[in-house]
Amino acid sequence: MNTDNHRDLELALRQLPWKEPPQQLDAAIAALESMPEMPASEIPQRVMPPSSGVASRRFGWVALVSTAIAAGLSGLLIGHSTGPTPVAASATSTTQDLDPATTQSGIVPVKFNANAFTLLHKHSTRPEFNKCEDCHVSNRNRFENWFYGDAEFLEQNQDFRNCSDCHLAQ
Amino acid sequence: MNELLENLYREYRQGLYLLALSIVGSTQQAEDAVQNAFTNIFQKSSRQLAALENGHCVAYLFKSVRNSAIDLKRAGDRQRRLGESLFLDRRCDHWDTPADALLTKERDEILMRAIDRLNENDREAIVLKLFGGLSFEQAGEVTCTPAKTIATRYRRALEKLENHLKGQL
């Protein structure tokens, strides 16, 4: 790779006529000042962005693969099954990621993992995931302990209980 | 709006906007994505944002805009990227007519076309690095991707553009 060429290229790229945010957006952001801020007592403790450490990545891959497999299986079963979701079978393949506690519905919870979370949502490009509410409302009791971490996690991060807090468009 | 958020917006507004635009492919939706993210942070997590170290703070902001853009894209059209260019109208003349203006203009037009045709991941790496001014570690944090992967995407994108340029000029 010719570094000098890339330096020139980077300079050329910076000088291209990239679009700028419109003035309406600047005004809208500035207008936030007039909006009421949520009182500190009502603000949930948000989780920090995931770390990029090697150990957490290794942990992440295991959870990612197992959770994705489970997501694929359960996604296919949405609308066809009235019984408990078959999470436990796939989740148990990664014993190091499991929380010893089991929920009342018999689902073995998987610890929250940001990479898995992102991957799962990419599945929404598949037809069976087209309607978020198929999982996140009607089947919510079945899914929340699995998709969004264990009960303890939800207890500590109350803001993950409401989809609309993060998913503004829904 | 609190001062930190306002300063961050001033400093990174173009990078944030281009990131959203590169995901949703529509200037209107890109605006909405940035606004939604800031509204959400302002209302719910500006104090938490202030508690973060500077580097994480910037990454958090980009990540919020990215997530917001992804949500909007999903809600609008799951299959089709709207495909608006990241650049101003190509007929507008930003070149200062020096002696080599023609060559520069031709090069820039080729580059703009090539960037618009890059795949989403590569384009995102370019926007985060060049306009967000993010390190590969920060960009990795934003996209939930290892820093090395982002670095590879960035270099690959530059090489694609370089080769494209060589082939065209």
Q: How many CB atoms lie within 10 A of CB A74?
A: 21
At residue A123 the predicted structure's pLDDT band, cuts being 50, 70 and 90, is: very low
Note down pLDDT in tens along chain B; length 169 residues. Answer: 577 888 888 889 999 999 999 888 888 889 889 988 988 888 777 777 777 766 688 888 999 999 999 888 877 654 455 566 777 765 445 545 555 566 677 778 888 888 888 888 999 999 999 888 899 999 999 998 899 999 999 999 999 888 888 877 6
Tell me which of A35-39, A66-70, B7-11 is least confident: A66-70
Which pLDDT score is estimated for A118? 44
Q: pTM score, two decimals?
A: 0.53
Burial class (CB in 10 A: 0-12, 13-18, 19+), B2: middle
Min distance A80 CA to chain B CA atoms (Å) = 24
In B, which residues are within 8 Å of A28 by CB distance? 31, 35
Query: Residues A74, A85: contact at Cβ < 8 Å?
Result: yes
Residue that the structure tokens 């489970």 belong to = A70
C-alpha closest to that of A68 among A87, A96, A81: A87
C-alpha closest to that of B56 among A40, A46, A149, A113: A46
Which pLDDT score is estimated for A106? 40
List Cβ<8 Å contacts ≥24 apart for B107-111. B107/A12, B107/B165, B107/B169, B108/A12, B108/A15, B108/A16, B108/A17, B110/B164, B110/B165, B110/B168, B110/B169, B111/A12, B111/A13, B111/A16, B111/B161, B111/B164, B111/B165
Interface predicted TM-score (ipTM) over 0.85: no
The residue of chain A with its CA nearest to that of B69 is A169
Picking from A5, A14, A26, A32 by the largest number of B CB atoms within 10 A of its own CB, the best residue to mutate is A32
Chains A–B, number of C-beta pairs less than 8 Å apart:
148
Which pLDDT score is estimated for A16? 82
Query: Residues B69, A165: contact at Cβ < 8 Å?
Result: no
Query: Residues A52, B140: contact at Cβ < 8 Å?
Result: yes
Given a cut of 60, whether residue A124 has pLDDT beyond it is: no
Min distance B79 CA to chain A CA atoms (Å) = 7
Average of per-residue pLDDT across A12-28: 84
Phi, psi at residue A21, to the nearest 5°?
A: -60, 140
Query: Residues B6, B38: contact at Cβ < 8 Å?
Result: no
Picking from B144, B150, B163 by the largest number of A CB atoms within 10 A of its own CB, the best residue to mutate is B144
By the CB < 8 Å criterion, does B125 face chain A? no
In A, which residues are within 8 Å of B161 by CB distance? 9, 13
At residue A162 the predicted structure's pLDDT band, cuts being 50, 70 and 90, is: low
By the CB < 8 Å criterion, does B68 face chain A? yes
